[in-house]
Amino acid sequence: MFTRSVARSSSALARGFASSAKANRKVAVLGAAGGIGQPMSLLLKTDPLVTGLSLYDIRGAPGVAADISHVNTHSEVKGYEKDDIKAALTGAEVVIIPAGVPRKPGMTRDDLFNTNASIVRDLAEACAEYCPKAYIGIISNPVNSTVPIFAEVYKKKGVFDEKRLFGVTTLDVVRASRFLGEIKGSDPKDIKVTVVGGHSGATIVPLLSQTAQGKDVSGEAYKALVNRIQFGGDEVVKAKAGTGSATLSMGFAGARFANSLIRALNGESGVVEPTFVKSPLYESEGVEYFATNVELGPEGVKKINPVGELSAEEQELLKACLPDLAKNIKKGVEFANQA
């Protein structure tokens, strides 16, 4: 059962949603009837900082809304489908987007591009029209490409604000702390692993050397841990045997990110979450968007933290990450700008 402890730790959701000064916060979930959308919507219903929850999907969202509306928390829930996206988005301050098709065995995030790219483009156009000032969190894969797609649509509409657009990479640090905790026999809530780069495969760069519990992991154990963090999604896809992907853990991570963002919007200081944003860190190398620890504030992105000192192994991981990430970003930009 979730508690209402006031906590600034980025692991707040693991112990119960952190709360801050009260404010009316309407959150819209686009793709609410899907495998990620349903558990995330349920978690958001239990978040004391969410006062209004607007659930949208092509079909099924009114049923999801009716179901979770029975949960005895104070937030109001409404469901919308098909052509009701205007009503779903009007007045939304935070929009979380898990819409799209899930991965299946043998698929990479890039394989999802052709389907999910058009879905994200269409949703970006709707958000630009009906809630252009909302803070947007994108879960739809491949995040390395869908965030640039969303940005390009907003640029065309003249409403792009780089401080209000986020790729939700929280699951990478959730996995990293959990997997490292397993190795060390420690409680994951006490482990903070910085993960930078992107949100797929080799573009995910865990900085274990910056974590007390991770500094001494070496050799084959280090390689196995890095691989598991980078390809943890494959582990779930395989285990579900074609029936789905990492939906429940992603729902948890998405709700955690939304909670952190709302706390920052409410004026809480020191709220830091990893997120894929427009960043100057590696822009000179063709990487316009990059995930790192970002301090959140009332404006959205308050401060983009540098990656810090890297070990030799991490430098090699980053070296491998950047070219792939640049290609992913370029693919998204080109899709959004095609005739």
| Per-residue pLDDT tens digits of the chain, which is 339 residues long | 333 333 333 334 444 566 655 677 999 999 999 999 999 999 999 999 999 999 999 999 999 999 999 999 999 999 999 999 999 999 999 999 999 987 777 776 667 898 899 999 999 999 999 999 999 999 999 999 999 999 999 999 999 999 999 999 999 999 999 999 999 999 999 999 999 999 999 999 999 999 999 999 999 999 999 999 999 999 998 999 888 899 999 999 999 999 999 999 999 999 999 999 999 999 999 999 999 999 999 999 999 999 999 999 999 999 999 999 999 999 999 999 994
Query: Which among 234, 244, 237, 182 is positioned nearest to 39, based on CA atoms?
Result: 244
β-bridge mates for residue 136, sequence order = 95, 165
Q: Which of 288, 258, 287 is nearest to 273 (CA)?
A: 258
Beta bridge partners of 293: 274
**Binding site for NAD(+): which residues?**
31-37, 57, 116, 139-141, 250
Q: Which amino acids are annotated as binding site, given as ranges? A: 31-37, 57, 103, 109, 116, 139-141, 175, 250
CATH 3.40.50.720 boundaries in the chain: 25-168
The whole-angstrom distance between residue 120's C-alpha and the CA centroid of its chain comes to 14
Burial 77-102 (b: 16+ CB within 10 A, else e): bbbbbeeebeebbeebbbbbbbbbbb
- Residues flagged as binding site for substrate: 103, 109, 141, 175
Q: Give the per-residue pLDDT at 111.
A: 75
57 three-state secondary structure: strand
Domain 25-168: CATH superfamily, name plus number: NAD(P)-binding Rossmann-like Domain (3.40.50.720)
Rounded Cα–Cα distance for residues 240 and 301 (Å): 36
User: Encoding tokens for residue 42?
Assistant: 């349920």
Active-site residue among 178, 199, 228, 278?
199
Give me the pLDDT at residue 156, please.
Answer: 97
Is 199 known to be catalytic? yes
Alpha helices (runs of H) in the chain, residue ranges in sequence order: 12-15, 37-45, 61-68, 85-89, 113-130, 143-157, 170-184, 219-230, 232-239, 247-265, 312-337
Which phi and psi (to 5°) does residue 31 adopt? 105, 30
Q: Please work out, in degrees rounded to the nearest 5, the angle formed at the alpha carbon of residue 184 by the alpha carbons of 313 and 169.
A: 60
Concatenated DSSP letters for 223-251? HHHHHHHHTHHHHHHHHTTTS--SHHHHH
Dihedral sign, Cα of residue 140, residue 143, residue 147, residue 149 = negative
- CATH architecture for the domain at 170-338: Alpha-Beta Complex (3.90)
pTM comes to: 0.92
* Contact by Cβ (8 Å): 253, 174: yes
Q: What pLDDT, on the 0 to 100 scale, is given for residue 109?
A: 61
- CATH 3.90.110.10 domain locations along the chain: 170-338
